Amino acid sequence: MKKRDNRLVYSTDQGRLCPGCEQPEDQCRCKVSKAAPRGDGIVRVRKEVAGRKGKAVTVVAGAPLDELELPGLAKELKKLCGSGGTLKNGVIEVQGDHVEKIMGHLLGRGYKVKRSGG
């Protein structure tokens, strides 16, 4: 069967459309647009202090999870470290220097993990 090449992907009335059900992304029934993880499958963990007035933040990027599962992982990592944090644009930020603790936890869950940065 031949794929359709003329499908609508964006409408000025509705915005971006789901490739599966062709509904607006916020009204998607099939969740195809949210199911495809991005990246190479390697979770990268690093410590950042730049632009944070010297405060350390552990950054976790590249988790092969969809947009619905990522907040759960963020909550789990914050609870593990006993500190606050946030989830911004698919990147988890945990307050404090917890690189080793987070790497160990993610390895235990079966993820491929690399330390990035210095």
pLDDT digits 0-9 by tens, 64-111: 888 888 899 999 999 999 999 999 988 999 999 999 999 999 999 999
CA 53, 55, 57 angle in degrees (round to 5)? Answer: 125
**What residue spans in the chain does CATH classification 3.30.780.10 cover?**
37-115
Q: Using an 8 Å Cβ cutoff, are 94 and 63 in contact?
A: no
What are 42-69's pLDDT values in tens digits? 999 999 998 888 899 999 999 888 888 8
Task: Give the architecture-level CATH label for domain 37-115.
Answer: 2-Layer Sandwich (3.30)
Rounded to two decimals, the pTM is: 0.68
Work out the burial of residue 64: count CB atoms within 10 Å of its CB; fewer than 13 is exposed, 13-18 middle, 19 or more buried: middle
